[in-house]
């Protein structure tokens, strides 16, 4: 996605067509989607993989399954992505 956003930013024909397109909301949307969206599943983010590894190595060795993580992580992911989307929308509206 980074090359696509870069192309949108650097292409004079695209900027002319869309009337001086502001690219900053696209960067924020990409960052929010990639970072917060990965928290929904165990393997979606590096922090989830590390947390599962650490939980196995503790004194009592608790194994986290994909479903256990999904039941808790997915609702939190939905909430944080929705909140981030609202904040991004407000930032975009206020910058106009």
Q: Where along the chain do its domains lie? A: 22-95
Return d(Cα 46, Cα 43) in angstroms, integer. 7
Of 44, 85, 86, 83, which is closest to residue 66 (Cα–Cα)? 44
pTM exceeds 0.85, yes or no: no
pLDDT for position 96: 58
pLDDT for position 37: 87
Contact 23, 9 (CB under 8 A): yes
Residue range 54-68: average pLDDT? Answer: 85
> Which pLDDT tens digit goes with each residue over 20-54?
667 778 888 888 888 888 888 988 888 888 988 88
Return d(Cα 56, Cα 23) in angstroms, integer. 43
**pLDDT of residue 2 exceeding 90:** no
**pLDDT of residue 4 exceeding 80:** yes
């Amino acid at each position: 996605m980074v090359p696509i956003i870069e192309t949108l930013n650097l292409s004079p024909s695209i900027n002319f067509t869309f009337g001086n397109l502001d690219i900053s909301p696209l960067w924020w949307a990409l960052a929010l989607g990639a970072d917060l969206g990965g928290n929904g599943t165990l393997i979606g983010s590096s922090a989830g993989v590390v947390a599962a590894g650490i939980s196995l190595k503790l004194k009592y060795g608790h194994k986290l399954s994909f479903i256990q993580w999904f039941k808790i992580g997915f609702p939190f992911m939905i909430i944080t992505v929705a909140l981030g989307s609202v904040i991004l929308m407000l930032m975009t509206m206020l910058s106009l």
